Amino acid sequence: MRNFFGKTVAVGAIAMLALTACGSGRDGDTDSGSGDSAKGFAANSLIGVALPAKTSENWVLAGDLFTNGLKEAGFTSDVQYAGASTTVADQQAQITAMVTKGAKVIVIGATDAAQLSTQVTAAHAAGAKVIAYDRLITGTPDVDYYVAFDNFKVGQLQGQALLDGMKAKKPTGPYNIELFAGSPDDNNATVFFNGAMDVLKPEIDKGNVVVTSGQKDFKQIAIQGWKAEGAQARMDQLLTSTYGSKELDGVLSPNDTLARAIIQSVKSRNKAVPVVTGQDSEVESVKSIVAGEQYMTINKDTRTLVAQTLTMVKALQAGNAPEVNDTKSYNNGSKVVDTYLLPPVAVTKANAAEAYANDPKLAALTK
Ligand code: BGC
């Protein structure tokens, strides 16, 4: 099983998780059971950063920010991306090489949440700390910290925006929608979907919102590798099979890359563009929102996420326990991982200028 966390976030600590949490570091005990962090390490030590393939702009940005930020802080850095096709094997080899080179902390944006246990166990055996960045690593006790935007909240914001956007266009339902989710090997994909369904399911149950194709299970709607072409092909199929004469009011899209592919598919059939959600505040999607096409995105400022991760690395270097603000939501199937969660922000045309006010590149697009 790869994804067991969305629910956990939804209900907070259920009994089993609460029990697990007792052994994995709670308030005032933030060294998460992985050994002795009190010693710290030399200020110019090697810090490894293993990122997934560049499936969205945020990963590209993160790589640059880590390279510069680690250098500025005086560390030696090794920042790697998994390649586009052999992502899992690439990332496994990259992490192993970082361990061999003596990295003191390894920051990982997992390509496949469930396939890194051997590598992180080896990292621990060599005395390195492991920080899961943006995506949780599952099925292993050898993850020390998780730093991410609140993924469940991202899904809830997407679900709510979808409802609001459809209502603004057409005051009464029922509304016809379709659902898309991210890649099944990315733990976040399920969490985003569960967050969105937390908001949408009551409306579906009441009949106010109809998933016309009937495809509501994660497995049916997930897009392998977060690939734009996968989303476009599925949307093409749905339009042919289900929307001959029917109107499509909304599409839950988990991120901007897929949102633009879905919009592309609809436009190529000369259909009216429905309300489409997104995530990441990618340049092309922000332009599309300002132009009134894509309905919304999520602002998860990569600069903030990388800065928070660097704060954790610096704390470890000094021999201190990094600050966390969530010690119960993220059970990775092996333990509850001490987490620092940042708040995501929903962005539509209405609040884009305000939401990007401190991001010159995106702010310029809203003028
Ligand atoms: C990230 C999203 C991103 C997706 C595809 C997810 O794990 O949280 O921000 O859109 O990966 O790269």
pLDDT tens, residue by residue, 230-274: 999 999 999 999 999 899 999 999 999 999 999 999 999 999 999
Tokens 């399911």 correspond to 201
| Comparison of pLDDT for 19 and 237, the residue scoring more | 237
Residue 336: the pLDDT is 98
Strand 338-342 and strand 129-133: the pairing is unpaired
pTM beyond 0.85, yes or no: yes
Residue 20: the pLDDT is 34
Query: How many Å apart are CA 262 and CA 235, to the nearest integer?
Result: 6
- pLDDT average, residue stretch 187-205: 98
In short, whether 255's Cβ falls inside 6 Å of ligand 1 is: yes
- pLDDT average, residue stretch 289-299: 98
Query: How many Å apart are CA 34 and CA 31, to the nearest integer?
Result: 7
pLDDT band, residue 93 (cuts 50/70/90): very high
The answer to whether domain 2-149+301-342 and domain 151-300+348-366 are alike in fold is: yes
Query: Would you state the CATH architecture of domain 151-300+348-366?
Result: 3-Layer(aba) Sandwich (3.40)
Give the chain's mean pLDDT: 91
pLDDT in tens, 139-169: 999 999 999 999 999 999 999 999 999 999 9
Give percent of the chain above pLDDT 70: 90
Any idea where the domains of the chain sit in the sequence?
2-149+301-342, 151-300+348-366
In short, whether 188's Cβ falls inside 6 Å of ligand 1 is: yes
User: Is the per-residue pLDDT at 25 higher than 70?
Assistant: no
pLDDT band, residue 123 (cuts 50/70/90): very high
CA of 215 to the centre of ligand 1 (A): 22
Cα 214 from chain centroid (whole Å): 26
Which atom of ligand 1 is the closest one to the Cα of 280? Answer: 9
CA of 4 to the centre of ligand 1 (A): 17
In short, whether 226's Cβ falls inside 6 Å of ligand 1 is: yes
Q: Identify which of 312, 308, 181, 203 has the alpha carbon closest to the alpha carbon of residue 254.
A: 181
CA of 109 to the centre of ligand 1 (A): 10
Residue 38: the pLDDT is 55
For ligand 1, mutation pick of 255, 298, 306 (most atoms within 8 Å of CB): 255
CA of 341 to the centre of ligand 1 (A): 15
Listed in order, strand segments (DSSP E) in the chain are 46-51, 76-81, 105-108, 129-133, 145-149, 175-179, 209-211, 250-252, 275-276, 296-299, 338-342, 345-348
The CA-atom distances, in angstroms, between 179 and each of 199, 217, 219, 277, 281 are 13, 9, 11, 10, 20
Q: Identify which of 247, 196, 244 has the alpha carbon closest to the alpha carbon of residue 221.
A: 196
User: Is the per-residue pLDDT at 217 higher than 70?
Assistant: yes
First to last CA, the chain: 46
Query: How many Å apart are CA 324 and CA 30, to the nearest integer?
Result: 7
User: Is the per-residue pLDDT at 344 higher than 60?
Assistant: yes
- pLDDT average, residue stretch 75-90: 92
- pLDDT average, residue stretch 332-359: 98
CA of 257 to the centre of ligand 1 (A): 10
Query: How many Å apart are CA 151 and CA 316, to the nearest integer?
Result: 25
Sequence letter at residue 297: T
Query: How many Å apart are CA 194 and CA 198, to the nearest integer?
Result: 6
User: Is the per-residue pLDDT at 228 higher than 90?
Assistant: yes
In short, whether 280's Cβ falls inside 6 Å of ligand 1 is: yes
Phi and psi of 179, rounded to 5°?
A: -115, 135
pLDDT band, residue 173 (cuts 50/70/90): very high
In short, whether 186's Cβ falls inside 6 Å of ligand 1 is: yes
pLDDT band, residue 356 (cuts 50/70/90): very high
127: left (phi over 0), alpha (psi -120 to 50) or beta: left
Query: Which SS3 state, helix, strand or coil, does residue 22 take?
Result: helix
User: Is the per-residue pLDDT at 9 higher than 60?
Assistant: no
Residue 19: the pLDDT is 32
| Comparison of pLDDT for 28 and 54, the residue scoring more | 54
Which residue minimizes the CA distance to atom 6 of ligand 1? Answer: 188
Q: Which CATH class is domain 2-149+301-342?
A: alpha beta
User: Is the per-residue pLDDT at 182 higher than 60?
Assistant: yes
pLDDT band, residue 84 (cuts 50/70/90): confident
For ligand 1, mutation pick of 3, 9, 58 (most atoms within 8 Å of CB): 58
For ligand 1, mutation pick of 134, 185, 342 (most atoms within 8 Å of CB): 134
